[in-house]
Structure formats: C-alpha cells, structure tokens
Amino acid sequence: MKQFINLLIFVTTISFGFHQAKASEASDTSYIYLKDYGLAKTKKKNCIKYINKAIEDLKNDQPTVLVFSRGEYHFYPDGCQTRTYFESNTTDKNPKVCAFLFENKKNLVIDGRGSTLIFHGIMQPFTFDNCSNITLRNISIDWENPLIAQAEVLKTTEQYIDLGINHKEFPYQLQDNQLVFDVSGAEGNAWKGTMEFDRKGRYVVPQTGDMGCLGEDWNNYQAATTMPGVVRLQYNFKRKPAVGNFLVLRHAERTHSGVFITESKNISIKNLNLYHACGLGILAQFSEDLTFSEYRAIPNKNKNHYFGGGDDGLQVSNCKGNITVSNCEFEGLMDDPINVHGTSVQIQEIISATELKCKFMHHQSVGLKWGHPNDVINFIENEKMNSIGNGKIVAFKPIDKETFTIAFSTAVPKGLEAGDALENLTWSPNLWVKNTQFKSCRARGLLVSTPGTVVIENNHFESSGSAILIAGDVNGWFESGAVSDVLIKNNTFTDLCNTSSYQFCEAIISIYPNLLSRSDNTQAFHKNIRIENNSFAPFDYPILFALSVDGLFFENNIVTQSYQFTPYHNRQYNFTFENCKNVTVLNNQFSEDLLGKNILLKKTGKSELKSDLDDLFKIEVF
C-alpha cells in the first residue's frame, strides 16, 4: 500500500510539473507541428519547403511553439530564402543563404525535441532578424560534408607524411600536386591552415598553434595518392606531427553563421548542439538581452571529429543590455570560444563642427548599421587611445559599404582629427559567463572588450592560448571596448592553458590593449579588474600580464606548478605590470616549486604595487 501511495505521489508530481510547464506559456499559445507540413520520414530529401510554409503561417503577435517531431532532417541551398547581411567578423559574401529565416517575429519558441538538422553546402541554418522574445531549444546542427577536413597521421619520415582522409565525408582532389577540397560541387578550396590534435587528450598539441603546425614553408609540399583515402605529402616538413594524431585542415572562408541574430531583443538559445558552421557558430550583433544556456559548440564525437562548431563559438558584436552565458561548452573551434566586443571606426574627414566622415577599417566589419539616433559615442585619440569626450548621434548616413557620415547634436571635441577613432558606448553590454567549459580550441578562451559589468565565474579553462584576453584597439582589429568593471572569480585554469603562441597571449590571463604609443602620464585604458579565488596550474612562467590598467587585484588565488608540458614562453615572469596603477597582489597561495617567482614592473612605479610577496618573489623595476 505504501508503495502504491508513493507511486501515486510520483505520478501526481510529474503530472503537476508538466501542467506547470504548460501553464508557464501564455494561455493563448498556439502549436504548429511541422509533421503536419510534411516534415516526417523525409530521409535525405530537401526539407526546406516544409519549413518555408510553416514560417509563412506564423502570426506575428500570437505566442507560438513551432514543434519538430524528433528525427533527422536535411536542408540544401535550393529553395532557401536569400538576404544581404553584413555580418560582423565575417567575410562579405552576399547574398546569404538562409534556411530558417525569421523576420519581424515575436513570442516564438522553436522546439527541436531532440532533432538533428543536417545541412549541405554553404548555408546559414538560423537567422533572427528584427525579432523579439524568441527561444530556440533542443536541437542539433551538423553538416553532411563539413567545410573543414580532418586527416589521421599515418606515417612520418624525413621525406614525406602520409595522411588518411575520408574521401566521402571530406571530398578532395589534387590540383597541381596540391590538396584541394570540394564543397557540394563548388570550386575547390585550397588547404590553407592546419591544427594538430592529440588523439587521446583531444587538445591542440602544445607549441603548435599559429606558429606553424608543420613549420615554415609547409605548403611547398607535393601531394600524391598512394591508395584510396591515403595522401602522401612529399616534403621535409620542419615540424612533423605525431603518428596517430589528427590534423584539422582548414580550407574555407567564414561567410555564414550557424545562428545569426541581428537587431533583435530577448533571444534565448537553449540546449543547442552545434557541430559545424560555415563561419562563426553564433553571431549576435546590434541586439539586446540575450541568453545562451546549454549551448555546445563541440566536435561530433559520434563521427570521431576533432573539430568543433565553427570559428568563434559565440561572437557578440555591438550589443547592449545583458548577455548571459551559462552551462555551455566549447571545444575544437577554429578561433575563440567567446568574443564580446564593439567595433571602432576611423575618422576620415571632419566635415564641420558637428559632422564627421568615418570608415570601417577591417574588411570583416563593413556595412554595419553602426550608428542610431541618440547613441552615445566616445571619441578616442589614435595612438594612446585616450578618450577625449563624448557626443550624441542625430543622423547616420551610409555612403557605401565602407564609409558613412555621422552628425552630432553638439560640436565634436577640439583637437579631434582625421585618424582618430569612435566607439559606440550605447551598444556595450553587461556580460555574465558562468559554469562553462572552455576546452582546447585554436586560439584564446574568452575575449572581453565591453565597458559594461562583466562577471566570469565558476568556469573551467583548457584554452590553447590565453584563457582570458582583455584587449581593445582602434588600430588593428578595431574591436573596441575598454573594460571598467570585471570580476574573474572561482574559475579553474588548467595546465592546458597557454600551451601555444597566438596574438596577444602573454599569460594565462592577458590584458593587452593595442596601444601604438604610451608614456608615464598616459591614462590607463582598462580599469577595475578583480581576479579572486581562482585556481591556476601553470606549466610555464606567465600567469598574469597587464598593460595599461588602473585598479587591478589578484587576491586569494591558488597557484600550483604543473610539469605536464615543457616551458616555452618568451615571457619568463609570473606577473608583468606595464604602465599600470593601483595594483594589488595579496593573500595568494603559491607552490614552493613555482617557476620564476618574480614580478616585472615596467613603467609602473613600485609604489603602485601593494603586495605581500617582497620576501618570496623577486620584483624587478624596469
């Protein structure tokens, strides 16, 4: 009898939970079942017509759930909508081929119910354009033939390397004795970049990275097929990969995102597996209040892939409001797992006291709707990146994809000149990143360039380059955003961090704005960065590098020396503080065998450092 009562309670609880979940949706919610449109038992045929019809039937204002029947569905470019989009950090190749295109939609849930969507060719799976209150959940995205290839290292000698390549999955041919990959019958893409992954550990092999997996002049090889699926690369490569490891062969441009969010608000991505994309995994630009939960840009291990979902896993460019990332996972990416930044533009001409002509300086940022009436703009001096005042936009007028004019409500600051830069402060979000796995990828782990509140907490870092990079510049990548309130707390930084050289990777945590010139009286670019209660396991010297920070705290951290890998870094200081002010290093625990035990103060007075390490660390002032 007691067991029956317990069972009754259990069933009642489950039933109550179900009805409670249903009740959380609006009472007037309608359900559109894609099986009613023919999306069932489709095998490998193109399913796009069923999706187009279902999207046509969506009512813009009524809360709606678009429901998949769990299964595998295939999508091809034929029949897709196309649109011209200028996507941040993406090569300008238009129009974009959009599979699931949602324009001006609101109050919509797209529930995959565990379905897998397989794409063919160059496509953008999901696009949300001028949408609000949208949730995409419970779905996986993959490609039949990825726009990246993978090869197993079968043999290495002084004269050649033999690679095993699955020709069916990664179609290739030899042109002029070079390896070229085909994408859905399109013209071949030449192999142009390589990553080596450890077979067992699934991490980027240390000391490879952008310094050259195969060494200098690697592309002077001559390729020949020795048997089906085996390609011999004849050349005495200066660096040879280990037999049994996997090489990821990069050959395509980043032209489409996996999920593209533009000019939208209150978008939620939950329980999404992204195994591949034709560029960035998720790109959000000029959007507000975004939530990413249980989003995984990772390799499809069922296919034994070592490459993950796209270039950057999540790129947040010129957004505002609150950006929340929780319980996510990134692995095997071709670039940074998360990059949150603005876009700086350069002044070409001062037309009048209130009007400027400006230009997008990076080829992957052209065409953006960068300015809006009432946006607050920061005027930045070019070389030292000092702020020289703010202004408010009254008009933004594109001239072409690269140039535009901006009119302001008041006169621009005196001393502003051509070559200086602007950043849009209005489109600068707050950021929370919690309980997330940053596994080994090509470059850094988390890039942060926003003046909003930033909290990085309870994450696990195994990034190949710096685990966290706080940069910002108006000269190179033109990714703006001096930070002013950053908390890095309760994170784990393993000995897989900073195992290879990439740009700006001066330490496990690298704070490295791209200043063209600096002097003792230059105002600090970044402010108020707190690094507290974290654990570090460095195998090399550099733990923290900071350039041009006012208010930097490294407190209550545990640092334990690792012997997993061989030290290689040129920077042989645990801590480097350059042009910094108000630096605190207190109450940390360091293992006795820590390499170096030293601090470099470069153009940073010793009076600017508050520390309890005078008897334990050598402090050099330069």
Q: Are 231 and 98 in contact (CB under 8 A)?
A: no
Residue for token pair 């009524």: 62
Q: What is the 3-state secondary structure (H, E, C) of 487-519?
A: EEECCEECCCCCCCCCCCCCCCEEECCCCCCCC
Please check the confidence at residue 313 and state whether its pLDDT lies above 80: yes
What span, in angstroms and rounded, lies between the C-alpha atoms of 212 and 173? Answer: 24
How far apart (Å, rounded) are the C-alpha atoms in residues 407 and 423?
A: 15
Q: Give me the pLDDT at residue 7, please.
A: 42
Token duo for residue 105: 């939609």
CA gap 470, 527 in Å, rounded? 11
Provide the mean pLDDT of the chain: 93
How many H helices and E strands in the chain? 2, 51
Residue 392 · residue 317 · CB < 8 Å:
no
Instruction: Indicate the pTM of the whole model.
Output: 0.94
pLDDT of 18 reads 36
Q: With bands split at pLDDT 50, 70 and 90, how would you rate the model's confidence at 195?
A: very high
State yes or no: pLDDT of 248 exceeds 80. yes
pLDDT tens digits for range 15-61: 333 333 443 455 689 999 999 999 998 999 999 999 999 999 998 78
pLDDT band at 11 (very low <50, low <70, confident <90, very high): very low
Query: Which residues 6+ apart lie within 8 Å of 510 measured at CB?
Result: 444, 466, 468, 469, 470, 504, 545
pLDDT for residue 523 = 86
Q: Please state the rounded mean pLDDT for residues 309-324.
A: 96
Instruction: Say what the pLDDT of residue 566 is.
Output: 96
pLDDT of residue 212: 84
Q: Which of 255-264, 361-370, 538-547 has the lowest mean pLDDT?
A: 361-370
SS3 of 608, please?
A: helix
| Residue 140 pLDDT exceeds 70 | yes
Under DSSP, is residue 9 helix (H, G, I), strand (E, B) or coil? helix
Higher-confidence residue of 363 and 304: namely: 304
Q: In this predicted model, what pLDDT tens digit does every residue of 284-304 receive, in sequence order?
A: 999 999 999 999 999 999 999
Q: How far apart are CA 351 and CA 343, in angstroms?
A: 22
Whole-number percent of the chain with pLDDT over 70: 95
DSSP string, 225-284: EEETTEEEEES--SS-PPTT-EEEEE-----S-SEEEES-EEEEEEEEEE---SS-SEEE
3-class DSSP state of 13: helix
The pLDDT assigned to 25 comes to 56
Joined tokens for residue 496:
């897989």
| CB-based contact 507:466 (threshold 8 Å) | yes
Confidence of residue 185 (pLDDT cuts 50, 70, 90): low
DSSP string of 14-35?
A: HHHHHHHHHHHS-TT-EEEEGG
pLDDT higher than threshold 70 for residue 8: no
Q: Residue 424 has which token pair?
A: 């849009």
* pLDDT reported for residue 444: 96
